[in-house]
Amino acid sequence: MHDGKKIAHVPKESWPSWTWYAIEFGIVLAVSMLVSREITDSFADLAPDLQNYVFMGTVGLIFLAWYIGIRGFVLKKKILRNSYEN
């Protein structure tokens, strides 16, 4: 009778850890763009080029608030961390 470990390599993790960061990035980007769109729509009297600045500025602020404020201080999870360290 053969041991299963000798037949096939079973990885430590079945899902690569970097993909969770990519999924989180996509979700944060999508939410920040949706919120920014709603905020920018309230400034109807601005010129289109100024609306673009307001849109991108709001996206950037929400992005920074998540990655530096919420994730860095509230959740206390470093963004760039070696996953192999204990």
Q: What is the band of 67 on the pLDDT scale with cuts at 50, 70, 90?
A: confident
Contacts 24+ apart (CB under 8 A), 54-61: 58/32, 59/29, 59/32, 59/33
pTM for the full predicted model: 0.67
Q: What is the band of 86 on the pLDDT scale with cuts at 50, 70, 90?
A: very low
Q: Using alpha carbons only, what angle is made at residue 73 by residues 68 and 77, rounded to the nearest 5 degrees?
A: 85
Render pLDDT for 8-60 as a digit per residue (tens, 0 to 9): 665 666 677 778 888 989 999 999 999 999 999 888 899 989 999 999 999 99
**Which pLDDT score, from 0 to 100, does residue 3 have?**
56
31: which residues sit within 8 A by CB, 6+ positions away? 62
